[in-house]
Structure 1
Amino acid sequence: MKGYWHFTAISVAIGFLSLYFNSYWALGSLLIWLFYLYYSERLGKVTIILSLAFTLFFITYIPIIDDEAVENYPPEANQLTGRIIGNINATSEKIDFILHDNSSETKLLVFYFPDKEEYNPIENHPDIKHGATCVIHGKIELPDRSRNPGQFDYRNYLLTKGITHQIIVDSLAEVQCEGSSFLNRIFMTRKFLLKHVEKNVSKETAAWLSALVLGNDSLLNEETVELFQRWSLSHILAISGLHVGLVVAFIYFLLIKLNLFTKEKAEWIMILFLPVYALIAGGEPSVWRASTMVLIFILLSKSKLNFSGTDILSIVFILLIFFDKYIVYHVGFQLSFIVTFGIILSKKWIFTSSSSLLQVLKISFVAQMMILPLQLAYFSTFQPLSILLNVIIVPYFSFIVIPLMFLLLIFSPFSVVTSVFDAVFIQVHQQVLYFVEWIDRVLNFPWIIGPLPVLLALLYYFLFFIFMNKLQKEQLKQAFKYGFGITVLIMCFAIRPYLSPVGTITMLDIGQGDAFVMELPYRKAVIFIDAGARFTFEDMEPTDNVYKQVIKPYLYSRGISHVDALFLTHEDIDHVGSVSYMIEELNIEKIVTSNIYELSDETKLFWKKNDIELLQVERNDNLMIGDQSIHVLAPYKNNGSANENSLVLHTNLGGKDWLFTGDIGVDEEKEILRTYPNLTVDILKVAHHGSNTSTDRKFVNQLKPAYGLISVGETNSYGHPNPVVIETLQSGEVHVLRTDLDGAVQFRFKNGDGSFYKFLP
């Protein structure tokens, strides 16, 4: 098996993918591939048998995530007895830990949200620690699930960690624990080091030291984390091989050079130390991967066995899945292994260059190309210029920042030395971050194309591996052909919306607010009608939650970065609160409002600076957006309030007549009936979230809609939709679709015919 373990690891990976995507063709392809290698005498019987045996075992061992199969606890269940597993995460905003329920053998996430007046409440409850057996009183509930396409699915995320439910306790007094585990000492050491760092260095330095040495990035500025994510620099924040290598080299050097231990004993100390360091460094998959690789390398060296890097990586891959069957779902696990695998396979090509700069450029190229399908799968976007930025930033962190962070931790008890290092680091590091931010402002041209289908992702890797093979053999013409094939594959996928005859209209579930997205066939235009937001009750200002959690993920998953027109029905935050956030990140061509819409000079200037055309329309105006005609029916005069002055739009799309009514009231409905006595529609956007101030019976009876769309928040405090409105619609034989029950609602059409689809089952 020496030199062939990667075939077994790849077989396990393909077996998992076939099960995850329910694709038996992938499993069949794996069998054909293995037997082809056997009959072509490239693999022996032992390798084939082990590969099939491991694949079969892990197919039955790795759990398949199905959030529909999770059963809820009985409503009366409010007490659990279990054991705390994993680390206890405590910040000023929340405390959480994982509890293993003794009775159901399931894992639950326990939350406590301290009051602002409470200072470090976890310190008053030292009995809450790893391994403790606890009795907990609280409400057991299912975590929130995704309610929109592209939205982060929190319930599914917890299920990939084996966590089925969550408990929110009102007080830590409701958590009564006793006992602990041996590992608690390691977690307490980590906690001590984190506090020690915060106490002895500046706030900014502490954030970077905690992230790069102790695996805690919670102190880092959110904007910085997002900046690194946009430019594919997030791997720098994950403790991996470089960090582990520095720690091992430093400790091993001290043990040997100071004559503290013999080489033999020093190696055994490192073997015992590496798992401990993995836990102190946060226990993420990347640090486990690096630590286990070093550990196995030392063991093999002591046994006089010579295994290749791909063999060691493959064995570690299999071992980590065996010890944690959920780890395969972890994004860090996937990225860490696929990048390391790509670099090991490409090392011959990388190190043919004598220039260190060129070697770093090649490593950056391989790493970015290896993660491209995963980058698109999780973020729907890719920054091509990140390859070049990585060449600059990675060496800076590798040779300056990370070693300096370890030195700061070592010398932190000596305040004089620490203060000097701290001050120098802040001065230099701020300039580097300013440089990255400048690059982000000037050269931020991301590809927003959505996630690759699994078939195309596999084809991409197939072409890329052949491309790299040809490069290593210096068959440059052949390599160019496969590189061109990769480019064509990505470009064809990127332009797929412009070749598709299918159009969509999506009512996003943004809670108590409106956001409709029209995508015309062949991507002739993308049209928004309203883009609401939540707001803070302290200052009644909109927050970016809806944009970041719903609107942006949806648009990115659809490969949308350009909006041809954004219609704003009226000024309320639940209809326009996300507009400013959209303008900052998207290319919006024009904004359309009524001529009564109140606009401040500041807003007009902001739109103008972003090259947005402002159109203010009135009743009977007709607009052409792409090849879509949109007719304005209201308002016809100033009715005295934002709701009554709502823009009312009529259009025909997918063979259906649509009416978007904003938040108009009964009087405005009557005016529309008086002005357009022959108006009928197929789909009615029910006004004002189903409030009883709208949707009069006469209005419904004349329009005769087949469907009524209600955008309304789940368990909202306004009682929307009003039962009278629902009864009115039902008596008019209107089929009601509502976001509080159905999640996002999408109408997909082709050639004048279409159907509605609900996101929630």
Structure 2
Amino acid sequence: MSGLVIGQQWWCAAGLIYLLIRVSRLGGVIAPISLLVVVFLSGSWFLWQNSQFDRLSWHEVQPRAVQLRVYPDDIQVSGNQLMVTGTTNERQHIRAFGRLKSATEARHINGIRQVTRWLVQGTNTLMSTARNKNQFDQHKQARLLKRHGQLEMTQWQVIPSKSRWWQLPIDRIHELRKTLLLRFAALPPTLSEYATNLLLGASDATFYEHNPGLQQLGLLHLFSISGMHIVYLVGLCRFLLARCGLTRETSYVLLACLLPAYALIAGGSATLVRAVLIGELGLLQPLISGGRHQLSGQDAWSWSLIGGLFLQPGVLLSLGGQLSYLLAFTLLVVSVETAWWQTWLMNLVGLPVILHAVYQIHLLSTPINLLIIPLFGWVIFPLVILATVTSAWLPGLTNMADMLLHGFSQLITWFGQLPGLITVGKLPLGLTVILLIVTLLLIDERKRRLHWFMLLTLCYGSAFLLLHFPLDGEVSFIDIGQGDSILLRDPFNRHVSLIDTGGRVGFARPAWTKGTEPPARVVTITVNYLHSRGITTLDDVNCSHQDADHIGDVGKLLQLMTVRRLTIPAGMRQSRGFQTKIAPYLKQTQVIELQAGRPVPNFPFTIYHPFTPGPGGNSDSVVLGAERNGCKFLFMGDLDQAGERAIMQQFPSLTVDVLKLGHHGSDTASSSEFIKQVHPQLSVISAGLANHYGHPKQSVLDTLQEQHIPSLNTADVGMISYEYYPWGNSHWHTMLPIRTPQAGSPKPSREPLP
């Protein structure tokens, strides 16, 4: 019901129908009626949650002045970036962003330790759905987190907030958490990161950047407060309370009261809520039953799932929630196995879910887990607790612990760099469910385990071939913001090319804000999409010219993927843009300078510009032509109108089906004469949403309308893809629906080429 109502995953209805049929065949009427009551109650609860979210969410962009009640631990400062999360008087949960003006202001706001009220003014932004295939979906996350809006603050005022009597307990817990966050931040760097993650559940993006091996080796669960951490902490507290002379019953009651408070202190993640609920059941059940009845593991797991869904209705729609409940259930089933076999089976169960969300797996993941988990439980976790608690009295121990943890981090990074990282690609949802079911059957039916293992191997092999040798090809205009990035992929991935990578235009920033830049879009968008298609190697990356919004992220791309060949306009090798953005990251990549009239062997494009070497400015942009499935494309870079006239003179008979307009639709390009000569049936504009340059210009749109040429803009519809098959079928696809099509533009978002 959660997947059906909250996640709108209609296939969940099949599981619900199957469950109803199974229960109806048990005989009697109590079980079917009970199940129907549960379906009705849970469906009503989830529908109410949906209606509340829709009612409270902001659906229009407009200036707003709101008052937020903000817990101190919901204030985050990163360089000159400020982010606060608070609640309005109407019970809306709002996240607000602002820019700080000085390091002094940043320290002052970051040092706030009490609950405050923020009087903020600004304009809200709408949380959009994913604008590219397999991109992070901001709107979906907002629904899961019950976040009703986000605001770009232009002004704010912070005033003290008085707590009412029923707010005092929660307020004091959040104030304690902020005090601990500030104290942990003053610890040596590595110990600070470990203590903040392991004890307070406060993950910093830079932590995973500093420790890439954690994600590559599948060790992120060690740094997400979960069942292992709760069992360890409860066991430690029971030991200490017993040494203080408290009876077992008294210590159980005390721990049952403290666990919910710790859930708030540690961030309240999905994995933590599940572990705390199971911990509460384990502590309270012997007290209630007087020790006469023992709650089974399956019942404890089931009650924790019911409680988790009541508190967080979308918990099973997040990767953390899925893995938490799935692996906890699997542990109950495989508890009779050896520790070695338990680890293998649990990794095998989580693999389909991980590949559906992350696309990669390391062959050393299971062996490293077998090695690291005991070390983590017996050495790392106790060391972090001991060094953190005694940091004020034993600085020598604190520094020694920091050195040991730094060595441990380096060891994990070294393991992560070993060969064995396999990019499988994004498993389709249906195949993910099938693989999960087959894996669970493999675990359950021990006598036929070999048969199920062979079937599972066949399924994974088929999935790998399907993802790495797809039948379809594509020409995709990636929505990279204000910039260009175009992917051309042949069927069966015979040849994969990328034209430009996009990149942010750099501006001078104060020294105290360094290190706060957001991740490059080529990582979160382009590389993420390539990995989801099982692609780790690009045959060629083509740099149109040296502007940052076209090649600013080439260096990052070269670090993350294998690039066999990189092309640039003739003469650009000596430019400052090439020397700073590309040259430092070149390894085995071949660099070729392009010039019209000079063919390049095995190059799947026709070169129409430049005609002479140049420094790599707009007027030197490489213009490439390509034909896919009988459809002719022309990619203009940022070429100006003078360059267009030169192409018309040199290639007077040039016509195309699809024209990628030059310079993002600027009026410095796309002259009426050029558009008329090449006579495209469709024009594509790559521009950023609400960009500061006013692209595309109205004069260019007027030219297109006068010549009855439809246009698609990434700013309006997200990623634009032309998908085709070897037997000739093709269609266009846009990530977002075409809401206000211009005259002559394709009507639906999937339409054959005009």
Q: What TM-score comes out, normalization by structure 2 length?
A: 0.88
How far the C-alpha of 1:174 sits from its partner, in A, is: 6.0
**Aligned residue for 1:258?**
244
DSSP-derived class of the 1:140 partner: strand
Q: Are the aligned partners of 2:425 and 2:467 in contact in 1 as well (CA < 8 Å)?
A: no
DSSP-derived class of the 1:336 partner: helix
**Aligned residue for 1:53?**
37
Q: What letter corresponds to residue 298 of structure 2 in structure 1?
A: T
Q: What letter corresponds to residue 389 of structure 1 in structure 2?
A: I
2:98 maps to 1:121: no
**Aligned residue for 1:333?**
321
**Aligned residue for 2:285?**
300
**Aligned residue for 2:414?**
438
**Aligned residue for 1:291?**
276
**Aligned residue for 1:11?**
none
Matches within 5 A, 1:202-221: 202-218=188-204, 221=207
Identify the range of structure 1 (646-655 vs 434-443) with the bigger mean alpha-carbon deviation.
434-443
2:495 maps to 1:510: no
2:380 maps to 1:401: yes
What's the % identity of the aligned pairs?
22
Identify the range of structure 1 (188-197 vs 459-468) with the bigger mean alpha-carbon deviation.
188-197
Q: 1:527 to 1:293 in 2, by over 3 A?
A: same
Q: What letter corresponds to residue 378 of structure 2 in structure 1?
A: F
Q: Are the aligned partners of 2:93 and 2:148 in contact in 1 as well (CA < 8 Å)?
A: yes
DSSP-derived class of the 2:197 partner: helix
Q: Are the aligned partners of 1:135 and 1:177 in contact in 2 as well (CA < 8 Å)?
A: no
- How far, CA to CA, are the matches of 2:722 and 2:50 in structure 1? 28
2:559 maps to 1:571: no
- How far, CA to CA, are the matches of 1:268 and 1:498 in structure 2? 55
Q: What letter corresponds to residue 589 of structure 1 in structure 2?
A: R
- How far, CA to CA, are the matches of 2:400 and 2:111 in structure 1? 37
Q: Are the aligned partners of 1:138 and 1:174 in contact in 2 as well (CA < 8 Å)?
A: no
How far the C-alpha of 1:242 sits from its partner, in A, is: 2.1
Identify the range of structure 1 (368-377 vs 81-90) with the bigger mean alpha-carbon deviation.
81-90
**Aligned residue for 2:173?**
186
2:495 maps to 1:525: yes
2:732 maps to 1:756: yes
DSSP-derived class of the 1:402 partner: helix
**Aligned residue for 1:9?**
none
Q: 1:674 to 1:137 in 2, by over 3 A?
A: closer
Q: 1:491 to 1:75 in 2, by over 3 A?
A: closer
- How far, CA to CA, are the matches of 1:396 and 1:596 in structure 2? 56
Matches within 5 A, 1:241-640: 241-259=227-245, 261-302=246-287, 303=289, 304-350=292-338, 359=339, 361-414=340-393, 416=394, 419-450=395-426, 452-471=427-446, 475=447, 478-497=448-467, 500-538=470-508, 545-599=520-574, 609=587, 611-622=588-599, 629-638=604-613
CA deviations over 1:655-704 (Å, ceiling 9, x no partner): 21111111212222112111111111111111111222211111111111
Q: 1:546 to 1:31 in 2, by over 3 A?
A: closer
Q: Are the aligned partners of 1:114 and 1:121 in contact in 2 as well (CA < 8 Å)?
A: no
Question: Which of these residues, 55, 60, 64, is aligned with residue 78 of structure 1?
Answer: 64
Q: Are the aligned partners of 2:497 and 2:540 in contact in 1 as well (CA < 8 Å)?
A: yes
- How far, CA to CA, are the matches of 1:441 and 1:25 in structure 2? 39
CA deviations over 1:395-451 (Å, ceiling 9, x no partner): 22111111122222333342x3xx23223323322222222222222325222411x
Identify the range of structure 1 (635-644 vs 711-720) with the bigger mean alpha-carbon deviation.
635-644
How far the C-alpha of 1:606 sits from its partner, in A, is: 5.4
Q: 1:483 to 1:70 in 2, by over 3 A?
A: farther
**Aligned residue for 1:32?**
18
- How far, CA to CA, are the matches of 1:607 and 1:263 in structure 2? 61
- How far, CA to CA, are the matches of 1:365 and 1:29 in structure 2? 27
2:123 maps to 1:153: no
Q: Are the aligned partners of 1:145 and 1:153 in contact in 2 as well (CA < 8 Å)?
A: yes
DSSP-derived class of the 1:588 partner: strand
Identify the range of structure 1 (659-668 vs 146-155) with the bigger mean alpha-carbon deviation.
146-155
CA deviations over 1:78-99 (Å, ceiling 9, x no partner): 2335655795233344554443
Q: 1:653 to 1:175 in 2, by over 3 A?
A: farther
**Aligned residue for 1:669?**
644
Q: 1:341 to 1:225 in 2, by over 3 A?
A: farther
Q: Are the aligned partners of 2:569 and 2:613 in contact in 1 as well (CA < 8 Å)?
A: no
Aligned residues: 718
> Structure 2 regions of 5+ residues with no counterpart?
738-754
CA deviations over 1:339-388 (Å, ceiling 9, x no partner): 111111111123xxxxxxxx1x3333233222223222322222232111
- How far, CA to CA, are the matches of 1:671 and 1:604 in structure 2? 29
Q: Are the aligned partners of 1:502 and 1:522 in contact in 2 as well (CA < 8 Å)?
A: yes
Q: Are the aligned partners of 2:2 and 2:314 in contact in 1 as well (CA < 8 Å)?
A: no
DSSP-derived class of the 1:347 partner: coil
Q: What letter corresponds to residue 147 of structure 1 in structure 2?
A: R
Q: What letter corresponds to residue 310 of structure 2 in structure 1?
A: F
Q: Are the aligned partners of 1:140 and 1:168 in contact in 2 as well (CA < 8 Å)?
A: yes
DSSP-derived class of the 1:89 partner: strand
Q: 1:120 to 1:47 in 2, by over 3 A?
A: farther
> Structure 1 regions of 5+ residues with no counterpart?
1-14, 351-358
Q: What letter corresponds to residue 54 of structure 1 in structure 2?
A: V
Q: 1:683 to 1:112 in 2, by over 3 A?
A: closer
- How far, CA to CA, are the matches of 1:219 and 1:624 in structure 2? 43
How far the C-alpha of 1:113 sits from its partner, in A, is: 3.7
Q: 1:507 to 1:287 in 2, by over 3 A?
A: same
Backbone CA RMSD of aligned residues: 3.1
DSSP-derived class of the 2:500 partner: strand
CA deviations over 1:576-622 (Å, ceiling 9, x no partner): 1222111111122222233333256798875663x223333332345
Q: Are the aligned partners of 1:62 and 1:326 in contact in 2 as well (CA < 8 Å)?
A: no
- How far, CA to CA, are the matches of 2:642 and 2:696 in structure 1? 19
How far the C-alpha of 1:623 sits from its partner, in A, is: 5.2
How far the C-alpha of 1:138 sits from its partner, in A, is: 3.6
How far the C-alpha of 1:737 sits from its partner, in A, is: 1.2
Q: 1:32 to 1:148 in 2, by over 3 A?
A: closer
Question: Which of these residues, 62, 86, 101, is aligned with residue 99 of structure 1?
Answer: 86
How far the C-alpha of 1:237 sits from its partner, in A, is: 0.7
How far the C-alpha of 1:24 sits from its partner, in A, is: 5.1
- How far, CA to CA, are the matches of 2:401 and 2:112 in structure 1? 37
- How far, CA to CA, are the matches of 1:54 and 1:543 in structure 2? 44
Q: Are the aligned partners of 2:212 and 2:416 in contact in 1 as well (CA < 8 Å)?
A: no
2:173 maps to 1:197: no
Q: 1:602 to 1:459 in 2, by over 3 A?
A: same
Question: Which of these residues, 125, 143, 158, is aligned with residue 141 of structure 1?
Answer: 125
Q: Are the aligned partners of 2:96 and 2:153 in contact in 1 as well (CA < 8 Å)?
A: yes
Q: 1:605 to 1:718 in 2, by over 3 A?
A: closer
Q: What letter corresponds to residue 476 of structure 2 in structure 1?
A: T
- How far, CA to CA, are the matches of 2:236 and 2:270 in structure 1? 22
How far the C-alpha of 1:164 sits from its partner, in A, is: 2.0
Identify the range of structure 1 (214-223 vs 307-316) with the bigger mean alpha-carbon deviation.
214-223
- How far, CA to CA, are the matches of 1:673 and 1:615 in structure 2? 25
